[in-house]
Structure formats: C-alpha cells, structure tokens
Structure 1
Amino acid sequence: MACEIWLEFECWEASAERDFFNMHIKLPDGTSYALNVWTFAYAARALEDVRDEMGPPYYSKGPDLLVEVAERESLQKIAERLVAEGQLLPVWRVTNEPIEP
C-alpha cells in the first residue's frame, strides 16, 4: 500500500546513521501515524548517555522504531512495509480524541 512520509529532525547530523527524528506516515485514506525513530547508532549513543547520567538499574524509554539509517528512500520502504504487514500500532495513530490514561 502506498503511503506518504514526512520527517522532522531536531538537529540533523552529517551522518544519517547517528540521528533521531519524528516520522509521520499518512495513508491514502487520510489516516495518520506519528513515530519517534532512532537509528541503531543513535540508540547506542543514547544508552551510553544513560549509563553516564544514572546509576543502576539502567533503563531507557526508547523510541517507537529503530532503523539502520535515516535516509528518505530507506524510510519510505520501511513505512510501506509497516503498512503492508499491518505493523502500525494503534498508539501511533494520530487522532483528535483525548488519550486515555
């Protein structure tokens, strides 16, 4: 299934392997999903920061999705695969309804 993606970077680095960003996936019927995405390399760096900033036991709330690289072509394919395989989680869906606790 075709879908459109929109990418929002907080602070773009020269390396597409070491970044995090928000990804908006819009389906042809208008349904939208929003995900926080980290690259594998960014996740490793973020976990190093966790170890430096907190004592054990360590944890991270992490992202919604981990990807190898933050390149548009790759991310488009990933979004299409998520849609085709029915892997878009309900919690990622963008609605105007209040979120239940």
Structure 2
Amino acid sequence: MEARIWIEAEHLAEDVTDFCNIAVYLSTGERYALNVWTFDFFAVAQGEGEMHASPAVKHLYMYPPDLFVQDLTRPTIEKIVIDVLERGRLPLWRLMPDEAPDVDDTLRFDLPT
C-alpha cells in the first residue's frame, strides 16, 4: 500500500508546533482529513475552554481533535499514520471530498493481511 501525507504545518510561513491539519491519501483512493494536536497544546486549549460553548460552560468541556501526537514532525506523523492504518483505526467519518491540496512525499508500507 502507498500513502501520501500532506502536513499543514510544513506549508505555513510561521513555525507551527502545537496543532495543524493533515491529509492522508491512500493508494486505494481513500482520503482522510485529521485535526492534530500535540500533547502540550491540550493544556493551552483546556485553559481557553471550548470556543463554541456558552460562557456558563465554556471551561467545563471541549471537543477533542482527531488525534493527539508527541510532535508535528514528518517522521512522527508518518510513524503514527502507518500504525493507525495497520490497525484499521482511521475514522471513516473523516473521509475527505475529492478536492484536496497537493501532497508531499509518498510513504510506502505493507499492511498485514
């Protein structure tokens, strides 16, 4: 199987180290979009509270990202994507439409049969 991964943080002018979006394109034609936060960013987000909540409950909850990671580097993201795909854990409800940004390098790996 082949997968191509687009990491938003690699395409921004500023140095992004806390959260970003990624897109995963599989050779099967499936496409996934994920909102990714680092573990460190959780504390920041928790302090700010849920941005769409009413003031009375703003700090009582928040919607999580699709994925928490140690860091946003390509090697880390690639390892995680392979692991998640091997375990069949990419959320089907996150499938992307056909329109999507260009992607970077192709990551090749074998899934267990």
Q: TM-score range by the shorter chain?
A: 0.7 to 0.9
The alignment of Structure 1 onto Structure 2 pairs a total of residues equal to 92
Give 1:63's aligned residue: 65
- TM-score normalised to structure 2 length: 0.70
Give 2:75's aligned residue: 73
Give 2:93's aligned residue: 91
Give 1:6's aligned residue: 6
Give 2:45's aligned residue: 46
Q: Does 1:36 align with 2:26?
A: no
Deviation at 1:49, TM superposition (A): 1.4
Deviation at 1:11, TM superposition (A): 7.4
- TM-score normalised to structure 1 length: 0.77
Give 1:99's aligned residue: none
Amino acid in the other structure paired with 1:28 = S
Segments of 4+ in structure 1 off by > 6 A?
Answer: none
CA 1:33/1:45 → structure 2, altered by over 3 Å: closer, same or farther?
Answer: same
Give 1:22's aligned residue: 21
- List gaps (5 residues or longer) in structure 1: 97-101
Q: Check whether the contact 1:2–1:80 (CA below 8 A) recurs between aligned residues.
A: no
* Identical columns (%): 32
Deviations 1:47-98 (A, max 9, x none): 01119xx5556110120110011110110110111111100111111136xx
Deviations 1:19-69 (A, max 9, x none): 100010111122100000000001111101119xx5556110120110011
